[in-house]
Amino acid sequence: MEPVPPSPITWPDGGGLTNEWVHGLMSSFHWSSWNLPPSHLPSLLPVSVFDSLVLTASKILHKERNCVHIDGLDSESNVVVVGDIHGQLHDLLFLLKDTGFPCQNRFYVFNGDYVDRGAWGLETFLVLLSWKVLMPDRVYLLRGNHESKYCTSMYGFEKEVLTKYGDKGKHVYRKCLGCFEGLPLASIISGRVYTAHGGLFRSPVLPKRTTRGKKNRRVVLLEPEPSSLKLGTLDELMQARRSVLDPPWEGSNLIPGDVLWSDPSMTPGLSPNEQRGIGLLWGPDCTEDFLKKYELKLIIRSHEGPDAREKRTGLGGMDKGYTIDHNVESGKLITIFSAPDYPQFQATEERYKNKGAYIILQAPDFSDPQFHSFEAVKPRPKAHPYYDFENVIDSDDEMDKSALDTNDEQPNR
């Protein structure tokens, strides 16, 4: 017997979302992943409904500060922190059900990387946007490095959107990019926990004027020596310009790139992240300095899956979906990764078979993390990759800056 298709999704009169609407969206996307060819998605989610959802969510996101503060928690509250999802829709739906859906006393902080690599990045992102619209002060969506023009053109999301929405695909893709620009960079939970996709960041290089005349002023940005790099402050984070399609790797606005691309190291100090070509490496001493300065207990970041971690010396693997990378006097640095059996499309016969994980923070001070690991939902619907997963540059290898430059020259690509 053929499954009965759900009715096309409509935007509610007045634009007010309900729990029923959001659950209906999740159910429809789950059904379509099994029963519809990707190019038939508009028959379920018309472009007009997509536009309404993304516009409503974007207005909320763009009003939030670079670092959102999640306060007002009480003894009944808990906060769920989620790492990379990478288009693995079915694992996201399991996680939400397993943990409990957002509600008055259950907050969520998502640490970015909703799209790319997996086959359902668009559906994943739209589910999260719908929860954000429904419960804007309970669900917080931070930006990951894959919420950028460069990454989405390399790792599948752009092609996914063009495949699913055909002649409207460029429009849908541009709207998603605009929404990405509004995603905050970091969060502070109950004044005790800092979360961000990549992690810490440098104090920016200030422009120095070489001439004082009103005409022909030249601004020179001096690249600092690694030894002169300084940890940035939360005030500097608040002042960074996050509304960029691709966070720059040079110039004065380096904080967004650092927050999204940086990695921890066991080597003390701050240094350029040569392997990625953008961002920083920071040592346990920097973790201690940041925690102590702001009276924090935890840094929770994401950004590294099992493929990245197998190339990092001195740091734990991602078999369980999380690692404790620095354990210092003032607290801990944790990496959380929520995409199990990642990546969905793997060039090697032997899969990583990693678990995904999420963290629950509870009263009294929300700084004692409870780790929950989970297996991938199996079987997955059959799907084709939207990128050349056998030959594309690894996300943890050096950024292909020539591709980034080309993309910048083609804003409507």
What is the set of active-site residues? Answer: 146
Q: What is residue 195's three-state secondary structure?
A: strand
Q: What is residue 396's three-state secondary structure?
A: coil
Judge whether 182 and 62 are in contact, CB under 8 Å. Answer: yes
Distance (Å, rounded) from C-alpha 348 to C-alpha 389?
Answer: 10
Q: What is the dihedral of CA 4, 99, 356, 73, to 10 degrees?
A: 140
What DSSP assignment string belongs to 74-129? -TT-EEEEE-B-TT-HHHHHHHHHHH---BTTEEEEE-S--SSSSTTHHHHHHHHH
Distance (Å, rounded) from C-alpha 182 to C-alpha 187?
Answer: 14
Closest to 396 in 3D by CA, of 334, 320, 328, 337: 337
Both structure tokens of 159: 């092609």
Closest to 194 in 3D by CA, of 282, 72, 95, 68: 68
338 DSSP β-pair partners: none
Judge whether 113 and 302 are in contact, CB under 8 Å. Answer: yes
Q: How far is CA 90 from CA 87, 306, 339, 382, in A?
A: 9, 19, 10, 12
The identity of residue 204, as a single letter, is P
